[in-house]
Structures are given as C-alpha cells and as structure tokens.
C-alpha cells in the first residue's frame, strides 16, 4: 500500500522540522521566582544561603534529593514542591531530603 499524498506531505514537513510538536515542556524554576525565594532555592547548590539555611550540607543537591522526580543524570526534572516547573539537578532548596538511594 503506497502512502497517501497527505502522509507524504506531513512526513516531509515533520522531517524538515516545519511542524511544531505539541510541547508540554515545563519552564525551569529560577531562584528569583517568589516560590523559589521562599524556600531558598538556587540553581547551584553551592550558592545556598548558608546563613539563612544552616542545615545545608555540601553534597546536597536536587539530583540526590528524595523529591527529585528525574532519572539519575537528568539535568532537570519536576519537584512536587514547585508544581509546573522543573528544578535543576544541581540546585538545592531548604526542603532537601535524603533519598533512599543514599
Ligand atoms: Fe530540589 Fe529537593 Fe528542594 Fe525539590 S525539594 S527543589 S528536589 S532540594
């Protein structure tokens, strides 16, 4: 069965990147966002405000937090604390919690 004209046109456009696929990509949380500031989120854990959050320990970051919903090695992923936004694996916030895998 040969492809229809419609299939050929769509295939050509998709191959050329002319058709945008629906995107459900979330925006990445910024440390300047109000909800981030409330919890002291920073995209680089080493920049955590140690005076405000003395519980911070070197080595803690979103990527090894129990709340991080990404796979190991994933640069950013969802965190239930910040609905609709992703956090950087390298980030940190005051709700960091040790994951079972540690
Ligand atoms: Fe990162 Fe964990 Fe804070 Fe979420 S709860 S922002 S994964 S440190």
Express each pLDDT in 3-60 by its tens digit: 544 344 334 434 444 344 444 568 999 999 999 999 999 999 999 999 999 999 999 9
Could you tell me the two tokens for 36? 């981030």
pLDDT per residue over 49-82, tens digit each?
999 999 999 999 999 999 999 999 999 999 999 9
Q: How far is the CA of 38 from the centre of ligand 1 (A)?
A: 13
87 lines ligand 1 (CB under 6 A): yes
pTM for this prediction: 0.77
Helix H, strand E, coil C: the string for 31-91 is CCCHHHHHHCCECCHHHCCCCCCCCCCCCCCHHHECCCCCCCCCCEEECCCCCCEEEECCC
The fraction of the chain above a pLDDT of 90, given in percent, is 70
93 lines ligand 1 (CB under 6 A): yes
């Amino acid at each position: 069965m040969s492809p229809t004209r419609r299939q050929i046109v769509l295939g050509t456009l998709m191959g050329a990147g002319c058709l945008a696929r629906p995107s459900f990509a979330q925006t990445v949380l910024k440390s300047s966002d109000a909800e981030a500031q409330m919890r002291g989120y920073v995209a680089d854990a080493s920049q955590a405000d140690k005076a405000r959050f003395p519980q911070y320990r070197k080595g803690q970051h979103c990527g090894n937090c129990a709340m991080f919903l990404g796979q190991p090695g994933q640069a950013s992923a969802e965190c239930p604390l910040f609905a609709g936004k992703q956090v950087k694996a390298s980030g940190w916030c005051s709700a960091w919690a040790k994951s079972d895998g540690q």
